[in-house]
A and B are shown apart, each in its own frame.
Chain A
Amino acid sequence: MKSGFKALVAALCLFVALPAWAGSLQVKGSTTVLPIAQKCAEAFMKVHPDIAVSISGGGSGNGIKALIDGTTDVADASRFIKGKEVKRVVENGRYPVPFAVAYDCIVPIVHPSNTVTNLTLDQLKKIYMGKITNWKDVGGPDENIVVISRDTSSGTYEVWEHKVMTKERVYQRAQLQASNGAVAQTVAKNKRAIGYVGFGYLNNEIKGLSVNGITGTPATTLSGTYPISRALFMFTNGWPKGDTAKFINFVLNPATGQKLVKDAGFVPLY
């Protein structure tokens, strides 16, 4: 009985000690950044087998919440940290440090059968405000426009709101979908629809539009000429040290992480 108890205690100690003994790293946050984090973590663990990186999604808000609570080492976010959030992090005795890890370029999409190929920012804004409701007003067929938007709390929507809507509200009839994939799926199934997705989600079933005559590509995103783009971030608690620093360096390195950024369908920094 007694020796059994001792063995149990020993096993428990080992179980508790093991993760601390090998290095471990938590990465949490935006679903947009998730594919980048995932690919980087896989490659990173091959190079550093002694460091276990665990990745989870849940959204930019949740990632930063985890940084506030101290339950994550790296918080992914598809937007910059908000003033209120910075205040909460600092109140909890931490300090958020942002690293831009990639750029995302958001492309308006339509059904492939749609004849429209270019829209101006102003036309996009009017469509999303419900002021232009027929495709013929922007040079397309005589059909109603079905507006697909993202959830108001998603990072993608926030970029759209800032770059396209400029302080106007997306009108109520706009259908809000919960993910980039769902928007692509909805537009692919509806020939009257217009939506917007990250550059990485473009496929053969949907057609990307150019904006103000500029096609959204890595080159136009980095040069800043394409109007609807954003930086993606990883936040650390204080200037990264140890395993966290190794991971951030790996992600920012043009030879390792940035290649994977490109593979994941985003625009690398260099």
Chain B
Amino acid sequence: MKTPRAFRETCIKNFFLLTACISILVLTLIMAFLFIQGMPIFKTVPVTDFLFGSNWYPTSEPPDFGILPLIAASLAVTFVSSLMAIPLGVMTAIYLAEICSRRARNIVKPIVELLAALPSVVIGFFGMVIVAPFLQDYFDLDTGLNLFNASIMLAFMSIPTICTVSEDAIYAVPGELKEASLGLGATHWQTIAKVILPASLSGISTAVILGMSRAIGETMVVLMVAGGAALIPLSIFDPVRPMPASIAAEMAEAPFQSDHYYALFATGMVLFIFTLIFNMVAEHIAHKHKQTGAATL
């Protein structure tokens, strides 16, 4: 016979187990639903035609379900936005963790984090109304709604993620490493470049990948500012149509359980696989190169 005390402990333990299980359950259900709704398209369109077909005409007769332009667009916006967000995010993190005074840090850090709190639709609106006409006039482009504009907006959104996570990583570098380096006569900059950055590289890599997975999954911004033309981009000023934009724009009007509906779910599957890979790589790097104390460096 258990004492009431032990019984209560068991109850509490099981309660927390249950709450932990809920999120796993939800994820499993969503995944199952996604795959059940997405797989039927492969009965009518072979997987290779779906992934590597370069025509996305889901409603013409006969329809074409080739999502290569959408995949290319997603990868292109993610890549170009990373080119902007990674240097900015990582350098901000170095500044915050190593260079600035405590007072400046207390001001700058919350502001950078506030950037993450901006609703994506507001960023999209800004890109559409302010940045697009500016790009159009300044570069004399046909359209300001393009890959470049979308990448700038996505960079805004991934900078806070990259910055916060890498700052934590840099901050966690053991103090003795830094002291040893400075003690050997290295300058502050040499210490940052040769000691602190290598020591926090795994954390920074995780940050970068998390930032990229944020960019590839972002919907509202790309829907509003990417231009929405389903073509493989050849210039950074081409309008593009990333996967999330296509799903969001077309889902509402796609006839229920039609091929188009299934194709959109299958696009969701592809997107899910991309973000899953990103997260697994981040997890793997974080795990493998885990920095525990100075000894493992």
Query: CB-CB < 8 A to A189: which residues of B?
Result: 128-129, 132-133, 136, 144
Find out whether the CB atom of A176 lies under 8 angstroms from the CB atom of B229.
yes
- The distance in angstroms between the C-alpha atoms of A151 and B224, with both chains bound, is 13
- Which residue of the partner chain B has the closest CB to A192? B142
- Chain B residues touching A, range: 35 or more
Task: State whether the Cβ of B106 lies closer than 8 Å to any Cβ in chain A.
Answer: no
- The distance in angstroms between the C-alpha atoms of A153 and B59, with both chains bound, is 6
Find out whether the CB atom of B252 lies under 8 angstroms from the CB atom of A174.
no
- Which residue of the partner chain A has the closest CB to B55? A172
- Which residue of the partner chain A has the closest CB to B133? A189
Find out whether the CB atom of A68 lies under 8 angstroms from the CB atom of B256.
yes
- The distance in angstroms between the C-alpha atoms of A175 and B238, with both chains bound, is 10
B128, B144, B145, B255: which contacts A61 (Cβ < 8 A)?
A: B255
Task: State whether the Cβ of B249 lies closer than 8 Å to any Cβ in chain A.
Answer: yes
Task: Give the number of residues in A that approach B within 8 Å (Cβ atoms).
Answer: 40
- The distance in angstroms between the C-alpha atoms of A88 and B224, with both chains bound, is 34
Task: State whether the Cβ of A60 lies closer than 8 Å to any Cβ in chain B.
Answer: yes
19 further contact pairs, Cβ within 8 A, besides A61-B254, A158-B59: A61-B255, A68-B256, A82-B255, A146-B142, A152-B59, A152-B250, A153-B252, A157-B59, A172-B231, A173-B239, A175-B227, A175-B228, A176-B229, A176-B241, A178-B228, A190-B136, A190-B143, A190-B144, A193-B143
Binding site for B on A (CB under 8 A): 31, 57-62, 64-65, 68, 82, 84-85, 88, 144, 146, 151-155, 157-158, 161, 167, 169, 172-178, 182, 185-186, 189-190, 192-193
Q: 26 A-B contacts, Cβ less than 8 Å apart? A: A31-B252, A61-B256, A62-B252, A62-B253, A64-B255, A65-B256, A144-B142, A151-B250, A152-B58, A153-B254, A153-B260, A157-B59, A158-B59, A161-B59, A172-B69, A175-B145, A176-B241, A178-B223, A178-B228, A178-B249, A186-B128, A189-B129, A189-B133, A189-B144, A190-B143, A192-B143
Binding site for A on B (CB under 8 A): 55, 57-61, 69, 128-129, 132-133, 136, 142-145, 223-224, 227-231, 239, 241, 248-250, 252-258, 260
